[in-house]
Structure 1
Amino acid sequence: MSVEEPRTIVLLRHAKADWNDGDDHERPLAERGRMDAPLVGRKLAQTGLRFDLALCSTATRTRETWKLAVPELPERPKTVYEERMYEASLGELIALLNEVSDEVRTLILIGHNPGIHGLADALAGESDGDLLPRMNRTGFPTGAYATLTFDGSWKSVEHGVGRLVDFWSPHA
């Protein structure tokens, strides 16, 4: 695959999680999250995207979101559970993207706010219609995803390289 071929990245925030007094990393999905996650999977399936790779935070709520969403997809992508995504800064998320193999054309990241929203906003140098202001107005709710496209290598991912082509939330 040429590094000049267009690439697509979907940034998915985990579905609604329960609050607990324990370890934040181990928070499970709330009932609404367990209902929304398969809906997210169905919506992603409707896009026609075929993911080459899924990078998922190791937190319980992200793993549960992906476990409930992925059966709705026509093909199950290779999934890597990445510890560095939990509480990752914008710079750390971009560094992670820079490590992705150029064999990957379509990638999905399943993570957390504020990182996922910050990454979508930072990468979106352009957007279709009112997607960027709409995404920023909603604050990127749980279960929402943003789809961005860009040309070039994953190593070239930096602020403003992408075009925001889709934004969806289960409770918009």
Structure 2
Amino acid sequence: MTNTPHRIVLLRHAKAEWPDTDDHERPLADRGRRDAPAVGRWLAGSGITPDLALCSTATRCRETWKLVVPELARRPRTVYDERLYEATTGDLIAVLNETDDDVADLVVVGHNPGLHAVADALAGGAEGDLLARTNRSGFPTSSVAVLTFTGSWKSLEHGTAHLAAFWTPHA
């Protein structure tokens, strides 16, 4: 077992439109296209340089990530994973558990209610009132939760992480 510190960045996709199309194919709305680069700037300003990004295959997630990446100090390896679309807490933890221990900072670009639920489930503690703030806000579009934990990715489970930051462009 490793004692390496890891950081999980849970990023809910930016605001999407509701056109007459399949949910998976919904594109970003104008507000989403404005908010996504702000997410990238916040991540960069927070010193977060992800080693790996796991992104839902949904159009709104892919578009969000493409607008976030140019703002980062370096481009992480990106894997588009269909399991992240409509993922449950258990699904998300299983995906996280597959992460190679060489990955220090991981970004997951996905959807609610899964991201909010996994942030809540993993957080055994939090800075200040962050857990209350995430629950009050409902984890809106373009929100970012940053969790930290020490150990192997395989050991990540309910209550083993610490909610270190929560940010949304419309706070």
* TM superposition score category, shorter chain reference: over 0.9
* In the alignment, structure 1 residue 84 sits paired with structure 2 residue 104: no
Q: Which runs of 4+ in 1 moved over 4 A?
A: none
Deviation at 1:21, TM superposition (A): 2.1
* 1:17 aligned partner: 16
Q: Which secondary structure state, in structure 2, belongs to the residue aligned with residue 96 of structure 1?
A: helix
Q: What letter corresponds to residue 133 of structure 1 in structure 2?
A: A
1:115 aligns with 2:106: no
Residue 162 of structure 1, CA deviation? 0.5
RMSD: 0.8
| TM-score (normalised: structure 1) | 0.98
Residue 10 of structure 1 aligns to a residue in which SS?
Answer: strand
TM (normalized to structure 2)?
0.98
Listed as ranges, the gaps of 5+ residues in structure 1 are: none
Partner of 2:39: 40
Count, aligned residues: 171
How far does the alpha carbon of each residue in 1:37-78 deviate from its partner, in whole angstroms, 9 at most, with x for none? 001100110011111100000000000000001100010000
Q: Distance in 2 between matches of 1:52 and 1:22?
A: 33
Equivalent runs, 1:98-113 vs 2, <5 Å: 98-113=97-112
Cα distance in 2 for residues equivalent to 1:103 and 1:5:
9
> Structure 2: which amino acid aligns with 1:64?
E
Following superposition, the deviation at residue 22 of structure 1 comes to 1.4
Q: Within 5 Å, which residues of 2 pair with 1:19-168?
A: 19-168=18-167
* CA distance, structure 2, for counterparts of residue 105 and residue 43 of structure 1: 19
Shift of 1:3: 1.9
State the alpha-carbon separation in 2 of the partners of residues 41 and 105 from structure 1: 18
1:20 is displaced (CA, Å) by 1.8
Q: Which amino acid aligns with 2:128?
A: G
Distance across 1 between alignment mates of 2:19 and 2:2: 44
Q: Could you tell me how far apart the structure 2 residues matched to 1:22 and 1:39 are? A: 27
Q: Which runs of 5+ in 2 are unaligned?
A: none
User: Partners of 2:103 and 2:166 in 1: how far apart?
Assistant: 22
Q: Distance in 2 between matches of 1:77 and 1:8?
A: 14
